[in-house]
């Protein structure tokens, strides 16, 4: 009687075998992050939301951290998808490329603050224990590197190590978004600028800082 699974949305009787419970659990976790926040992300809540018993997840995840890793991995996939979209629609204007990529990143953080928390706030101690997660994080990073290489090729930034440039760009954008989103202090009120203006200022500074001499 404890923890009855919630009634399925459809009237059809839910089959005993779920089909793709792995995916359903990850999606349920994302929904909880959106609607209730990171502190509500428990294994039991995820199972409840997916409409299965709270023991069912153990068929698919070794423990809670494994589920968190899958959720974090999904987040990195979203980030790199956004960057890749920007790269794929590249039209020869590297400044526009950076704007599109950065705006995408910031938008993702704004829309998924609690998801970012799972990815970045040290909830998972050892990324090495989750190879798929490490790969996803690396892929996002490599996409940023690629973007830097394009900006180099087309003369926007200096021909320095693109890995280093990518890391600096990521740091700036990540810091920008996490300070604003985390609401540690009312940035708009303090700087007199809105998010878009702050973003644009950061991009301008970044490009100037990396510009080819």
Partner DNA sequence: TGTACATCAGTGAACGCGCGTTCACTGATGTAC
- Please report, as ranges, the residues that interact with a copy of itself according to CB under 8 A: 38, 113-114, 117, 119-122, 126-127, 134, 137-138, 141, 161, 163-164, 167-168, 170-176, 178-179, 182-185, 187, 190-193, 198, 201-202, 204-211
Does residue 10 belong to the site contacting DNA (CB under 7 A)? no
Q: Phi/psi at 90 (nearest 5 deg)?
A: -65, 130
Residue 201 has, within 13 A of its CA and on its CB side, a CA count of 9
Number of chain positions touching DNA (CB under 7 A): 26
Q: By the 8 A CB rule, do 93 and 114 touch?
A: no
d(CA 32, CA 69): 15
Q: 54 or 163: whose CB is closer to a copy of itself? A: 163
Query: In the complex, what is the shortest distance from the CB of residue 36 to DNA, in angstroms, rounded to a whole number?
Result: 10
Q: What does the block give as tokens for 155?
A: 């003369």
Query: In the complex, what is the shortest distance from the CB of residue 198 to a copy of itself, in angstroms, rounded to a whole number?
Result: 7
Query: In the complex, what is the shortest distance from the CB of residue 101 to a copy of itself, in angstroms, rounded to a whole number?
Result: 15
Q: Which does 68 bind (CB under 5 to 8 A by kind): DNA, a copy of itself, none?
A: none
Q: 17 or 208: whose CB is closer to DNA? A: 17
- The SS3 of residue 157 is strand
- Binders of DNA in range 19-58 (CB under 7 A): 19, 21, 40, 42-45, 52-56, 58
Residue from 9, 10, 17, 92 touching DNA (CB under 7 A): that is 17
Number of H helices, E strands in the chain: 9, 0
Q: 11 or 189: whose CB is closer to a copy of itself? A: 189
Nearest to 81 by CA among 57, 105, 116, 59: 105
Does residue 126 belong to the site contacting DNA (CB under 7 A)? no
Residues paired with residue 157 on neighbouring β-strands, in sequence order: 211
Query: In the complex, what is the shortest distance from the CB of residue 59 to a copy of itself, in angstroms, rounded to a whole number?
Result: 26
Residue from 6, 35, 63, 93 touching DNA (CB under 7 A): that is 63
Q: By the 8 A CB rule, do 146 and 167 touch?
A: no
Residues paired with residue 211 on neighbouring β-strands, in sequence order: 157
Query: In the complex, what is the shortest distance from the CB of residue 113 to DNA, in angstroms, rounded to a whole number?
Result: 20
Angle between helices 64-88 and 113-120 (to 10 degrees): 110
């Amino acid at each position: 009687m404890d923890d009855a699974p919630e009634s399925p949305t459809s009237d059809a009787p839910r089959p005993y075998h779920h089909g793709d419970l792995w995916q359903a659990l990850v999606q349920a976790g994302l929904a909880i992050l959106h609607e209730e926040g990171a502190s509500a992300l428990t294994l039991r809540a995820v199972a409840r939301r997916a409409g299965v018993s709270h023991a069912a997840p153990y068929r698919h995840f070794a423990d809670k951290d494994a589920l968190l890793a899958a959720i974090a991995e999904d987040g990195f996939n979203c980030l790199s998808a956004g960057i890749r979209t920007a790269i794929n629609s590249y039209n020869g204007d590297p400044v526009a490329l950076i704007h599109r990529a950065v705006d995408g990143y910031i938008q993702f953080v704004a829309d998924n603050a609690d998801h970012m928390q799972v990815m970045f706030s040290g909830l998972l101690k050892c990324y090495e224990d989750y190879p798929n997660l490490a790969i996803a994080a690396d892929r996002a990073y490599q996409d940023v590197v690629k973007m830097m290489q394009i900006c180099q090729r087309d003369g926007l930034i200096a021909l320095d190590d693109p890995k280093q440039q990518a890391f600096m760009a990521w740091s700036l954008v990540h810091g920008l978004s996490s300070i604003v989103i985390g609401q540690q202090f009312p940035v708009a009120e303090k700087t007199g600028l809105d998010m878009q203006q702050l973003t644009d200022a950061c991009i301008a500074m970044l490009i100037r800082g990396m510009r080819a001499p």
